[in-house]
């Protein structure tokens, strides 16, 4: 018996766009947290560095998706 797999590019595109949108929102949220922490009188440099690393990972994942 032979089975055919039906490819639904539209469904995949919707899922892909949804994932990229979620990553974009996460990236923006991290940017906001970095700005907020950096604007404090005595920012937590370790926290800022950690947030920047997270932001970079999200950016790399977004670029890998395109």
Residue 30, burial from CB neighbour count under 10 angstroms (0-12, 13-18, 19+): buried
Any domain includes 35: yes
Residue 44 within a domain: yes
Residue 23 located in a structural domain:
no
Q: Is residue 46 part of a domain?
A: yes
Tell me how many domains the chain contains.
1
Is the residue at 16 inside a domain? no
**38 occurs within a structural domain:** yes
Enter the pTM of the model: 0.74
Domain assignment present for 62: yes
Please report, for the chain, how many H helices and E strands are present, in that order. Answer: 2, 0
- Flag whether pLDDT at 56 surpasses 60: yes
pLDDT one-digit tens code per residue, 18-47: 999 999 999 999 999 999 999 999 999 999
Judged against a pLDDT cut of 90, whether residue 64 lies above it is answered with no
Residue 7 phi/psi, 5-degree rounding, is -90, 125
Q: To which residue do tokens 């800022």 refer?
A: 48
| Separation of alpha carbons 15 and 17, rounded Å | 5
Structural domain of residue 57, as residue ranges? Answer: 31-66
In a domain, 15, yes or no: no
């Amino acid at each position: 018996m032979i089975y055919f797999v039906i490819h639904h590019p539209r469904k995949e595109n919707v899922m892909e766009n949804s994932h990229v949108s979620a990553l974009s929102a996460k990236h923006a949220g991290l940017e906001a947290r970095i700005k907020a922490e950096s604007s404090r009188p005595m920012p937590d440099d370790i926290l800022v560095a950690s947030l920047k690393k997270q932001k970079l990972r999200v950016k790399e994942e977004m670029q890998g998706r395109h």
